[in-house]
Structure 1
Amino acid sequence: MATYAVFLPLKDEEKSKEHRPAHLDYLERLHETGHVLARGPFVDGSGGLIIYESPSYDAVEKLVNEDPYVVHGARDYVIHEWALVGHLRTT
């Protein structure tokens, strides 16, 4: 399995507000099945970041394209394979 960082830059604020509940439900289901490791919005409102675990770029892109934000044109996306080295906690 590989790790992917997926940026979801804001494309349409109204559509983003409208489809947020479905987006969050979708990500929760993916988290429960082990596909989403972490997720969250940027505090400046410009979009968000999701960390996926997936066997391939194509597989993660398929998941991203099924996200209600992407389906309804609320967000764009940029996918980068990410070399997760470890988890550091400062507290």
Structure 2
Amino acid sequence: MRYFAVFLPMKDEEKSKAYRPEHLAYLEQKEEERKVFARGPFIDGTGGFVVYIADNLEEAERMVKEDPYIVHGARNYEIREWAMTTKANLPE
């Protein structure tokens, strides 16, 4: 299990508004599959951030490219593998 930090900078605000319900439903599905660790918008409205859980970069990028925001051109993306460290009690 590896973590991939994905920045989703705003590309088209109108498309982002239009496809937000599909984007959120997609992320909820991925959470149920235990493929999303964390997610949320930036308060300043410039985009958002998702941490995917995947076996490798290819799997993470496939999930990102299936996000309705990416499919419909509402957001760009930048993906990086993340070596998470924490002392928090995390769910298994």
State the AA in 2 paired with 1:4.
F
Which residue type is aligned with residue 77 of structure 2? Y
In the alignment, the residues of structure 1 paired with residue 47 and residue 5 of structure 2 have an alpha-carbon distance, to the nearest angstrom, of 13
In structure 2, the partner of 1:55 is: 55
1:12 aligned partner: 12
Whole-angstrom distance in 2 between the partners of 1:86 and 1:29: 25
Please, which runs of 5 or more residues in structure 2 have no aligned partner? none
Residue 38 of structure 1 aligns to a residue in which SS?
strand
1:67 aligned residue = 67
Moved over 6 A (4+): none
Aligned to 2:3: 3
Matches of 2:61 and 2:25, distance apart in 1: 18
CA shift for structure 1 position 87:
4.8
Q: In the aligned structure 2, how far is the partner of 1:42 from the partner of 1:87? A: 24
CA-based RMSD: 1.2
Normalised TM-score (structure 2): 0.93
Task: Give the residue type in structure 1 aligned to 2:21.
Answer: P
* Alignment TM-score, normalising by the size of structure 1: 0.94
Q: Percent identity at matched positions?
A: 54
Partner of 1:22: 22
Give, in angstroms, the shift of residue 86 of structure 1.
1.2
Give the whole-Å Cα distance in 2 for the aligned partners of 1:49 and 1:87.
21
Which blocks of at least 5 consecutive residues in structure 1 are unaligned? none
